[in-house]
Amino acid sequence: MKKRNGLALSLFLAAGTLLAGCGGGNNDEGAGSEGGKEAADDQFTVAMVTDVGGVDDKSFNQSAWEGLQAFGEENGLEKGTDGYDYSQSQSDADYVTNLNTLARKNFDLIYGIGYLLQPAVEEIAEQQKDTHFAIVDSVVEKPNVASITFKEHQGSYLVGVVAGLTTKTNKVGFVGGVEGDLIKKFEVGFVEGVKAVNPDATVDVQYAGAFDAADKGKAIASSMYGSGADIIYHAAGGTGNGVFSEAIDLKVQDPDRELWVIGVDKDQHEEGNGKTKDGEEFNITLTSMVKRVDVAVQDLSEKAKAGEFPGGEVIEYGIEEEAIGISPSDEHLSEEVKAKVKEYEEKIVNGEIEVPTK
């Protein structure tokens, strides 16, 4: 391991997002830069391995990459083996290989982005005991691994409040990626939020079985909108791109139709942009449940750089840490809805409401 800089650095909360496309990145690019050259002894280096959604999934992986980019910019680092980098996974078979490759390149801290990487992080952390790892959205109980988790149910509850107060049909939908404990937190929180403000509303819940299947997301959205839903919340990574695509297509066909998508993980306002056949611009992103993976990644990277890596610990980020909430893009929300969101947010923070996770 390279010597770590002991200077304590404060967390830089980036107000805007950095463009994710500032460097390719796949199994042959990104962290696969030539030669595996080591950085200088006093140069802290950090990298991440994406899940199959990819670094440009407009969601979870992209947010994590933006966090590393912000950390790099704040600390004068450049993309590559001497600074910060990523390795993109095309399938789950790539997880172990990509993590091991980054470890052999002597990165000080390596992230596994997403709970799907949990077994791979556990395996490589056991083999590479002098390297620090972090797993996002799961827990690995090893002294050289920090586990990052989020209170997604809190943010999902808030966008459920938005959906419950906004729906005109009293039918809303939830599209999940792979069904499991993690995505169940999104689903349950959303349903609870809808019911809290609109007990007459029904929530159609469906899972695509994948985080990288936009075609499946589009098909599920088509079914939901066809059944009368006017709002769909997705927690499906790249699969959710298909939900946006279907909503935009339906809006193009009928510009007067009122339908919405609620984004996830990052502000997905831009994903809802479209144009009618007459060239009139519109946007169908009602709001987004913002899960600041970028904040968590940047925060933990700063801690590790300062020699304060929380190995063996579970760090949970929620509303109080400003890592969970709804997006600032709120032009589609009425003042009444905004006020209700604030009211319920305060109730969650002060303990009046305990949002269930299952």
For 4, 64, 149, 199, the CA distances from 140, given in Å and listed in that order, are 23, 19, 11, 39
Q: CA 345 to CA 128: how far, in whole Å?
A: 42
Q: Which residues contact 231 (CB under 8 A, 6 or more apart)?
A: 163, 166, 167, 172, 173, 259, 260, 261, 262, 286
State the total domains in the chain. 2
11 occurs within a structural domain: no
Do 345 and 256 lie in one domain? The reply is yes
Q: CA 58 to CA 63: how far, in whole Å?
A: 8
122 occurs within a structural domain: yes
Do 46 and 60 lie in one domain? The reply is yes
94 occurs within a structural domain: yes
15 occurs within a structural domain: no
Range of the domain at 41: 34-150+292-317
Do 157 and 282 lie in one domain? The reply is yes
Beta carbons within 10 angstroms of residue 227's beta carbon: 12
239 occurs within a structural domain: yes
The CATH number covering residue 136 comes to: 3.40.50.2300
Do 222 and 245 lie in one domain? The reply is yes
Do 195 and 343 lie in one domain? The reply is yes
Q: Which phi and psi angles does 240 have, rounded to 5°?
A: -65, -20
Which class for 58: exposed (0-12), middle (13-18), buried (19 or more C-beta within 10 A)?
buried
Do 248 and 344 lie in one domain? The reply is yes
3 occurs within a structural domain: no
Instruction: pLDDT tens for the chain, 358 residues: list them.
Output: 443 333 333 333 333 333 333 333 344 444 433 333 344 457 999 999 999 888 988 778 999 999 999 999 999 999 999 999 999 999 999 999 999 999 999 999 999 999 999 999 999 999 999 999 999 999 999 999 999 999 999 999 999 999 999 999 999 999 999 999 999 999 999 999 999 999 999 999 999 999 999 999 999 999 999 999 999 999 998 999 999 999 999 999 999 999 999 999 889 999 999 999 999 999 999 999 999 999 999 999 999 999 999 999 999 999 998 899 999 999 999 999 999 999 999 999 999 999 999 9
8 occurs within a structural domain: no
Whether 136 contacts 64, CB under 8 Å: yes
Q: Look up the pTM and report it.
A: 0.79
Q: CA 140 to CA 160: how far, in whole Å?
A: 31
Q: What is the pLDDT of residues 167-213, one digit of tens each?
A: 999 999 999 999 999 999 999 999 999 999 999 999 999 999 999 99
Do 59 and 118 lie in one domain? The reply is yes
Do 336 and 193 lie in one domain? The reply is yes
Do 337 and 194 lie in one domain? The reply is yes
Do 162 and 104 lie in one domain? The reply is no
Q: What is the pLDDT of residues 285-296, one digit of tens each?
A: 999 999 999 999
Cα 271 → chain centroid: 15
230 occurs within a structural domain: yes
Do 309 and 332 lie in one domain? The reply is no
Do 179 and 307 lie in one domain? The reply is no
